Amino acid sequence: MIWRLTMLVALTTTLGCFGGRPDLEFGNAHGKVILQGAPLADATVRFQPESGRPSYGKTNQQGEYTLNFMGREWGALVGNHQVAITTEDRIENPENGESRWQKEILPPKYNAQTELTAVVDPGENEINFTLDEMKKGATRP
């Protein structure tokens, strides 16, 4: 009897690891990225919490992003985050399947050596970024 109870608890715990939302506190986070007065399209936005996994979002043509945690629409972990914004990526055209490599146009202070931070609270969070410079010699794609 005790063996069966132990197996039931172990099975329930194991199944809990593979499904559903993790037992963490999240906030929905979205916003807009503006570069020199215009929306920044096709940029990756990463929120890295002080501990735990990061959340990512991709800006659309209007510079708007929504964060996802582990590929799911859970937002970001509640708390303080370092934020990195990068334009370096492979961009696919959904109409014809062709792809192109997009170079980094932002200086390291926005990504590799980020100076950007944000706080995610429980509930809805609108977190906008206004970036004032591009990498020297870079032009928008």
Please count the structural domains in the chain: 1
The burial of 43, by beta-carbon neighbours within 10 Å (0-12 exposed, 13-18 middle, 19 or more buried), is given as buried
Domain membership flag for residue 85? yes
CATH number of 59's domain: 2.60.40.10
pLDDT digits (tens, 9 = 90+) for 32-91: 999 999 999 999 999 999 999 999 999 999 999 999 998 888 899 999 999 999 999 887
pLDDT digits (tens, 9 = 90+) for 79-128: 999 999 999 988 788 889 888 888 999 999 999 999 999 999 999 999 99
Domain membership flag for residue 17? no
* CB neighbour burial string for 2-17, b if at least 16 within 10 angstroms, e if fewer: eeeeeeeeeeeeeeee
Domain membership flag for residue 43? yes
Domain membership flag for residue 11? no
Q: What does pTM read for this prediction?
A: 0.78
Range of the domain at 51: 25-131
